[in-house]
Amino acid sequence: MQRFYAMLVDAWQHAGTRQRLFALAVPMILSNLSVPLVALVDSAVIGRLPHAYQLGAVAVGGSIYTMLVWTCGFLRMGVTGFAAQATGRNDGQALRYVLLQSLLLVVVLTALCVAIILPLLPQILVWMDTSGDLQALAQQYVLIRLYGLPAALLMHVLAGWLLGLQNARAALWMLLLANSINIVLDIYFVFGLQWEIAGAARASVIAEWSGAVLGLLLAWRYVDKGPLLNFWRHLFAWQNWRPLLAVNRDILIRSLALQTVFFSVTFQGARLGDNTVATNALLLNGLLICSYALDGLAYALEALTGHALGQQDRRALQRALCLVSMYSLLASSVFALLFWWFGDAFIALQTNIVSVQEAASGYLVYLALLPLITVWSYVLDGLFIGATRAREMRNSMLLAVMVCAPLAWLLQGLGNHGLWIAFLLFMALRAVFLGFSARHLPSWFVPTQTG
C-alpha cells in the first residue's frame, strides 16, 4: 500500500507527465463531447416532432448505423498504438505504412458492411417487433446514413493516427468541423426544409464527409514524404500486415461483443414499447456524454502508453497510468452527481413528450451509477490499446458477455429494470476481467517487431 501511495504521489507531482496528459486529453475531451452533443441535438430536434415513433425511429436507426461504425472502431484503436510506438522510436516510415494500410482497410470494410447490412436491414427491423411507422422511418434513416459510412471510417483511421503522433489538436479540428456542421444542418434540414427524419440523416452524411476531407488534408501535413524506394513492395508484403491485422481482428471481436450488448439494450427496449425504446435512447445519451469525456483521458493514455513502450520507459508509463486513473475517477464522480441531481432536467432538455419524460424518470438511478462503474473500463482500454495488447481486451470482453448473458435472461421478468441491472453488471465485470489481465504489465517492456 505504501508503494502504491508513493507511485500516486510521484505521478501527481511530475509536471512533465501532467503537461503531456493535458495537451492530449483536453483536445480529445472537447472533440469527444461534441459527438454526444450531436446525438443530443438529434434527439432534441426529432423529439419536437409530434410522435414518439419518430424519436424511436432515430433511436433504432441510429443504433443500427452506430453499430456498424463503432464495430469498425478497431480502425482507430488499432492504428493509435502502432503509430504511438513508431513515434516513440522516431520511425517515420512505420508511421506512413500503418496509415496507408489502415486506409486500404477502410475501402474493404465499407464494401463489406454495405453488403451485409442491405439484405439484413428489413429483417432486423421486423425482429425488433416495433410499430410499422417506426420500422419504415428507421429503414429510411439507415439507408441515407450509409452514404456517409466511408467518411465515418476514414475519420476513425485519421483520428487514431493523429493521436498516435500525439497531435490531438489536429484530430480535434477534424471532429469539431464534422460535428458542428451536423448540428447546424440538422436543425435547418428538419425544421427549415421540413425534411424530418431524412433531414437528420442527410445532415450527418454531409458532416461526415466534411470531417473526412479535413482529416486527409491534416494528415498530409504530417506524413513522411521521403523516398518511396521499396515502399510498395513493403506495403503489400503479407508479413508486414500480420501485426496490424492481428490487433484489428481481436479488437473487432471485442467491438462486436460490446456493440451487441448496446444493441441488445435498444432491441429489448423496443420490444417493451415505443416509449421504452425512446427512454433508453435518452438515458444512453447521458452515458455517451460521460463515456466520451472519460474516453478523452483514455485516448491520451493510449498515446502515452505507446510512446513509453516505444522508448522502453517504464516510469513514464507508470506515471501516465496513475494520473489518468485519478483524473478519470474524479470526472466520473462529477458526472454521477450531476445525473443524480439534474436527471429530470436532462431528459426534459431532449424531449417534451410527457409520456417519455415520465417513463425515463424511473430509471435515472441507473444513469447515475454508470459513470462510477464504467470508469475503469475506459482507463484499462486506453492502457491495452496503447500497448497493442488486443488479445487480452478480446478475451475479457467475451468473458463478461458470457457471464452476463444468462443473468440478463433470468432478469427478464423485471422488464426494463432487469435490462438496466444486467447492463450495469456487464460493465462491472468487463473492468474486473480486464484489470486481472493487467497484472502482466511488467512483461510488456520487451522489444518487439511491429512491422
Q: What is the per-residue pLDDT across 112-124, written as a single tens digit (0 to 9) for each?
A: 999 988 888 888 8
Query: Closest Cα to residue 298, out of 28, 4, 20, 19?
Result: 28
Least confident of 352-356, 361-365, 397-401, 405-409: 352-356
Mean pLDDT of the chain: 82
In this prediction, residue 450 carries a pLDDT of 43
pLDDT at 139: 83
| pLDDT number for residue 446 | 63
Mean pLDDT over 379-396 rounds to: 90
Give me the amino acid identity at 330: L
CA atoms within 13 Å, Cβ hemisphere of 365:
5
What is the pLDDT at residue 111?
A: 93
The whole-number pLDDT of residue 4 equals: 60
pLDDT beyond 50 at 56: yes
Binned at pLDDT 50, 70 and 90, residue 91 comes out as confident
Nearest C-alpha neighbor of 299 from the set 425, 150, 175: 175
Q: Tell me the mean pLDDT in the region 371-386.
A: 90
CA distance 451 to 449: 6
CB 43 within 8 A of CB 360: no
Whether 228 has a pLDDT exceeding 60, the answer reads no
The residue type at 227: P
Residue 158 above 80 pLDDT? yes
Predicted local confidence at residue 62, as pLDDT: 78
Higher-pLDDT residue of 52 and 413 is: 413
Among 29-38, 246-255, 269-278, 284-293, where is mean pLDDT lowest? 29-38
SS3 38: helix
Distance CA 99, CA 76 (A): 10
Which region among 77-81, 173-177, 234-238, 261-265 has the lowest average model confidence (pLDDT)?
Answer: 234-238
The residue among 144, 150, 174, 177 whose CA lies nearest residue 162 is 174
Q: Please state the rounded mean pLDDT for residues 124-129.
A: 74
In order of 94, 232, 233, the CA distances from 240 in angstroms are 10, 11, 10
Could you give the 3-state DSSP secondary structure of residue 212? helix
Banded model confidence at residue 451, pLDDT cuts 50, 70, 90: very low
Work out the pLDDT band at 266, boundaries 50, 70, 90. Answer: confident
Assess whether pLDDT exceeds 50 at residue 344. Answer: yes
Residue 320 has pLDDT above 70, yes or no: yes
Please say whether the beta carbons of 33 and 289 come within 8 A: yes
Placement of cell 510488456 in the chain: 444
Position with higher pLDDT, 95 vs 147? 147
The Cα-based distances of 334 to 58, 245, 320, 349, 371 in angstroms read 29, 38, 21, 19, 9
Q: Has residue 36 got a pLDDT over 60?
A: no
Average pLDDT (305-318) is 84
Query: 83 or 59: whose pLDDT is higher?
Result: 83
Report yes or no: 101 and 244 within 8 Å, Cβ to Cβ. yes
Residues 393 and 18: their CA atoms lie apart, in Å, by 26
pTM value is 0.77
Distance CA 365, CA 420 (A): 10
